[in-house]
Structure 1
Amino acid sequence: MPTFALGPNQYGKAETRIVRVTRGPGGDEITDLNVSVSLRGDLAASHLTGDNAAVLPTDTQKNTVYAFAREHGIDGIEAFATRLARHFVESQPSIHGARVAVEQYPWQPVDGRHSFRRDGGEIRTATVHHDDAGTQVVSGVRDLVLLKTTDSEFHGFVQDRYTTLPETRDRILATSVNATWRHAGPAGDAYGTARAALIEAFADTHSLALQQTLYAMGERVLAACPGVVEVKLSLPNRHHFLVDLTPFGLDNPNEVYYAADRPYGLIEGSVRRDDDVAEEVAWSF
């Protein structure tokens, strides 16, 4: 007879949406978050027999997020996620590890007091893992769209019988940056500095390949943020191709392009300090 065993498992409340308004005499501030909690521990009985004695309901996890926002405030998503992760592990004997992932959506004041506008698609992120081994904080940004109209080349690549791409010494380079950076300690908030470093490196680098730009961006973050030990980047190449206007008797001196949304090149990699030996905690199913 075959035998079976329960493998790694986790549970939690995903995507709790919370908007906190901080009111003050100089005007209001908005913090708009999407919070996901995942818990691990002695939870086998719930799977094997339906015994929920060790299960903290996911509805309770949702309520905890709301209550912490009121009782402790949100003074930064890394700190907020850390408080929640530690609470779930320290308050529940059956829970040995917690992951709290937070997305923050930017709003900007319109009148300086009570009106706001939602910024573009860029999203700030933070993920905190906490267990007996300690606390790990990973910050990031998603969908940071960058484009440069020149200072980008691509040539000298492998060519075979299927190659049709021409070499170029001048092209548009565009991408939607998805980046995360791992902090050396449990507390870290270098978002503004890291974001600026990503943008500056993209702009400053005369790119011979998007891979070269990726490394320059990661290296710039590490140089600007001493508390960061590793940067991971995923850079889709948002291709812009010159339109052939010769059928209409027109030239096209790098002025008219069409933007192709797919397929696209996807360049991914990490840049880390030489003395970094810790590995980022992976919770994925």
Structure 2
Amino acid sequence: MGIVLGANQYGKAETRVVRVVRDGPRHELRDLNVSVALSGDLDATHLTGDNAAVLPTDTQKNTVYAFAKRYGIGEPEEFGLRLARHFVAAQPSIRWARVTIEQYGWQRLGPHSFQRDGGATRTCAVTVDGAGEAVVSGVTDLVLLNSTDSEFWGYAKDEYTTLPETKDRVLATAVSARWLLSSVDTDWAASYDGVRAALVAAFAQTYSLSLQQTLYAMGRRVLEERPEVAEVRLALPNKHHLLVDLAPFGLDNPNEVFVAADRPYGLIEGSVLREGAAANDGAF
């Protein structure tokens, strides 16, 4: 039986870069976590230790810093495309590049003062290869809660089922969403803001009989409102809020006092795409 090298990639993970734009008394701030992955004609380094085709990961890190200064950062999708295109064009051995970015938010306190935003994190993943370019934008840790208008009943039961059915529950989740853009010629900021607003609106306005139903409503709302989006993939952990038994203290508890359980939790995942479109697993 022969042994061969399989698919492989390498890169520099989690390069932290903060860029301050000082074009006047009002400064602008961008705070990113950038990861680069490269693949191509790299068999020799694995099989013989010949590193002639290997661009050091330290060089990849330095490129992130240099590009932040030379070109600025702008929107994370722009920055990711610029980096990925560079690595594929500049290195003959590299045929595929993926740049993934997390952008951390800061709230403005003044012209040059900021407070770190503890909310959701904006993300993107850019892929460039011989077949073209793909951009997947996203958001993680978007925490949402409905205090009512959520039920869960009529589910399958067996000898291990102890969960009581409910016609009124707290529904809470920390949304992780990624969406594929149909074109790299996009207003990235407007698209991100629009998708995020659609996700939040659908969650808030859906009377939920299951978190699965809410997931589909959120993905459908994005595709209805944002024509530049081809596919949405969602992961919704069910952040369980368990009713506290106050009877030992002589108190009733009509869905008012809960304990927020962090684990274990249900995890609901799914994708929503336009009818007739094929899922683009490579882009995600």
Q: Output the TM-score relative to the length of structure 2.
A: 0.96
Report deviation, 1:23: 1.6
Report deviation, 1:26: 4.9
| Aligned ranges 1:17-166 → 2 under 5 Å | 17-111=16-110, 113-166=111-164
Q: Structure 2 vs 1, CA of residues 266 and 76 (structure 1 numbering), >3 Å: closer, same or farther?
A: same
> Could you list the runs of 5+ residues in structure 2 that have no partner in the other structure?
none
Hey, what does 1:233 align to over in structure 2? 234
In the aligned structure 1, how far is the partner of 2:196 from the partner of 2:150? 21
Q: For the Cα contact (< 8 Å) 2:136–2:283, is it kept in 1?
A: no
Hey, what does 1:260 align to over in structure 2? 261
One-letter code of the match for 2:80? Answer: A
Q: For the Cα contact (< 8 Å) 2:76–2:101, is it kept in 1?
A: yes
In the aligned structure 2, how far is the partner of 1:132 from the partner of 1:215? 33
In the aligned structure 2, how far is the partner of 1:135 from the partner of 1:280? 14
One-letter code of the match for 1:103? Answer: E
One-letter code of the match for 2:248? Answer: P
Hey, what does 2:14 align to over in structure 1? 15
Report deviation, 1:245: 1.0
In the aligned structure 2, how far is the partner of 1:85 from the partner of 1:155? 48
Q: For the Cα contact (< 8 Å) 2:134–2:283, is it kept in 1?
A: no
Report deviation, 1:222: 0.8
Q: For the Cα contact (< 8 Å) 1:137–1:187, is it kept in 2?
A: no
In the aligned structure 2, how far is the partner of 1:266 from the partner of 1:55? 39
Report deviation, 1:282: 5.9
Percent identical across equivalent pairs?
64
3-state SS in 1 of match to 2:82 = helix
In the aligned structure 2, how far is the partner of 1:173 from the partner of 1:108? 28
One-letter code of the match for 1:115? Answer: S
In the aligned structure 2, how far is the partner of 1:261 from the partner of 1:33? 28
Q: For the Cα contact (< 8 Å) 2:107–2:116, is it kept in 1?
A: yes
Q: For the Cα contact (< 8 Å) 2:180–2:283, is it kept in 1?
A: no
Report deviation, 1:280: 2.9
> Could you list the runs of 5+ residues in structure 1 that have no partner in the other structure?
none
3-state SS in 1 of match to 2:193 = helix
One-letter code of the match for 2:55? Answer: L
Q: For the Cα contact (< 8 Å) 1:182–1:280, is it kept in 2?
A: no
- Stretch of structure 1 that moved more, 12-21 or 244-253: 244-253
Structure 1 residue ranges, 4+ long, deviating more than 2 angstroms after superposition: none
Q: Output the TM-score relative to the length of structure 1.
A: 0.96
One-letter code of the match for 2:89? Answer: E
Q: For the Cα contact (< 8 Å) 1:79–1:187, is it kept in 2?
A: no
Q: For the Cα contact (< 8 Å) 1:245–1:252, is it kept in 2?
A: yes
In the aligned structure 2, how far is the partner of 1:9 from the partner of 1:145? 35
In the aligned structure 2, how far is the partner of 1:242 from the partner of 1:103? 35
3-state SS in 1 of match to 2:232 = strand
Cα deviation per residue 1:77-129 (whole Å; 9 max; x = unaligned)?
A: 11110111011001111100000000000001112x11100111411100011
Report deviation, 1:158: 1.2
In the aligned structure 1, how far is the partner of 2:79 from the partner of 2:222? 23
Hey, what does 1:172 align to over in structure 2? 170
